[in-house]
Structure 1
Amino acid sequence: MQYDGVLTKMQTEIGNPIQYYLVFENSFLNVNQLLNKELEIAFQGYQCLNCGKKKKIFRQGFCYDCFMSSASAGDWIMKPELSTAHLDIEDRDLEYEKRVQLQPHIVYLALSSEVKVGVTRKTQVPTRWIDQGAIEAVPIVEVPNRYLAGIAEVALKDHFSDKTNWRKMLQNEVPAVDIVSERNKLESLLPDEVKPYFAPTPEKLYHLDYPVLQYPKKVNSLSLDKTPVFNGRLTGIKGQYLIFEDGTVFNIRTFEGYVVKITL
């Protein structure tokens, strides 16, 4: 059986374990059903997720021109503190930026490889944590726009990492940390504009269960640019990674915009 199409990040459905789906233009694949089975991934070409042209992917699934011009690739995406829509100031497309930035955002602690701080739109809970491979996550504050979330994250980055060590996450090397206790100590570290949104106790601690049969002892990242055809037995899915029996891991997000053929 074959599936052809442009890679985009796997869609997920919360459950025990989480369900993962690869969605193509004319078909979709429940990746959980491939566990313990052999599959082949073959690189076929490129298709920009923004303009749809068959141009080499530069970053985030976009060709170079789209990455440099699209409103959805502005610097404020990776650095929320640079958001300016609340001031009515445009970066690339004010209408788009208002729609995305001027909505409730969550600042959170997540446990993936270590305790990390991050920002996500409220509508992306718990998807954002699943994509990072977190096994636990807890909200710190909910604020009304992306800028406030960004300055809170900047203040907390002096005390927590804002990056996930993907190797440790995939090897399940996760420390035993009480993230609720860590979260409850943070009010004094928040900027004054954010403190009114801090609640003494969180509404919920999220636990996330991934479909992994076997965690690798060592990991080797698959690049379709270097290895255009790969065969392997799937033994797990975590974050946006496929984990194979030989320790090879494939980050779907890295190769968004790549056209592939998957053979089962």
Structure 2
Amino acid sequence: MTYQGVLTKMTTELASPIQYYLVFENDFLNMNQLLNNNITLEFVKYQCLNCGLDKPIFRQGFDRQCFYDTAKAGDWIMRPELSTAHLGKEDRDLEYEKKAQLQPHIVYLANSSNVKVGVTRKSQVPTRWIDQGAHEAIEIVEVPNRYLAGITEVALKGHVADKTNWRKMLKNDIEDENLAEWRDRLSQYIPKEAVDYYIGNNKETHLEFPVNKYPEKPKSLNIIKSQRYSGKLVGIKGQYLIFEDQTVFNIRANEGLVVNISVN
């Protein structure tokens, strides 16, 4: 059976284990059902997630021009502290930015390769944690806009990591941490603008990923360079497909590529 479509990040469903779905325009695949099957990936062309044209993808699924034009790729997305919609100031499209920024946001601690701080819209909990491959996470503040979440993250990342080591995460080279204790220790660094939004009585969320075998030395697949790859799917974690030969393929990093997926 062969499916063709443009890659976007996998949709997830919180379960034990987490359920993953690859959604195309006319098809969708429950990726969990493909575990222990041989899969072939073939690069077909590009399809920018903004304009839909066959132009090389630059970042985040967009071609270069769209990346610098679309409101969906503003600097405030990667750096929430740069959000300005709460001031009525436009970056690229004020109406879009109001919808995205002026809603409840969570600052959280997650343990994927190590304990890290991050920001997400409240509506994206626990999706954001799943996408990062975190096996445990906890909220630390819930604020009414993205700016307050951003300045809180900036304050906390002086005392805890804000990046995930993807290789360590995929190898499952991790230790359980008491995130409630981490939250309590870090609470003193919350900026005064956000201190009233501190969440001090919640519990960790634990996540179970559908992985039969973790790679010891994960090697990243560049499907544009190789054009075609076949392998036995043995796990899914974060937004990565994990294959038996220790090849890993990051769906999120390849958004905007049209591929054929054959299940053997």
TM-score range (shorter-chain normalised) is: over 0.9
Structure 1: gaps of 5 or more residues: none
Q: Aligned partners of 2:213, 2:194: CA distance in 1, in Å? A: 42
C-alpha contact (below 8 Å) 2:159/2:186 kept by paired residues: no
C-alpha contact (below 8 Å) 2:130/2:238 kept by paired residues: yes
State the partner residue of 2:206: 207
1:211-246 Cα offsets, whole Å, 9 max, x none, are 000111111000112211000000000000000001
Equivalent residues in 2 for 1:17-166, closer than 5 Å: 17-166=17-166
User: SS in structure 1 opposite 2:55?
Assistant: coil
Deviation at 1:208, TM superposition (A): 0.4
C-alpha contact (below 8 Å) 1:81/1:148 kept by paired residues: yes
State the partner residue of 1:253: 252
Q: Aligned partners of 1:82, 1:172: CA distance in 2, in Å? A: 33
State the partner residue of 2:261: 262
C-alpha contact (below 8 Å) 1:43/1:224 kept by paired residues: yes
CA RMSD in angstroms, aligned pairs only? 0.7
Deviation at 1:53, TM superposition (A): 1.0
Deviation at 1:180, TM superposition (A): 1.1
Q: Is residue 238 of structure 2 the alignment partner of residue 243 of structure 1?
A: no
Higher alpha-carbon deviation: 204-213 or 142-151: 204-213
Q: Aligned partners of 2:256, 2:128: CA distance in 1, in Å? A: 20
TM normalised by structure 1 equals 0.98
C-alpha contact (below 8 Å) 1:104/1:121 kept by paired residues: yes
TM normalised by structure 2 equals 0.98
Q: Aligned partners of 2:195, 2:151: CA distance in 1, in Å? A: 12
**Runs of 4+ displaced beyond 3 Å:** none
Equivalent residues in 2 for 1:174-253, closer than 5 Å: 174-202=174-202, 204-253=203-252
Query: Which one-letter code corresponds to 1:67 in the other structure?
Result: F
Q: Aligned partners of 2:61, 2:199: CA distance in 1, in Å? A: 38
C-alpha contact (below 8 Å) 1:184/1:201 kept by paired residues: no
C-alpha contact (below 8 Å) 1:7/1:257 kept by paired residues: yes
1:111-138 Cα offsets, whole Å, 9 max, x none, are 0000000000000000000000000000
Q: Percent identity between the aligned chains?
A: 65
User: SS in structure 2 opposite 1:95?
Assistant: helix
State the partner residue of 2:14: 14
Higher alpha-carbon deviation: 146-155 or 53-62: 53-62
State the partner residue of 2:5: 5
Deviation at 1:176, TM superposition (A): 2.6
Query: Which one-letter code corresponds to 2:261 in the other structure?
Result: I
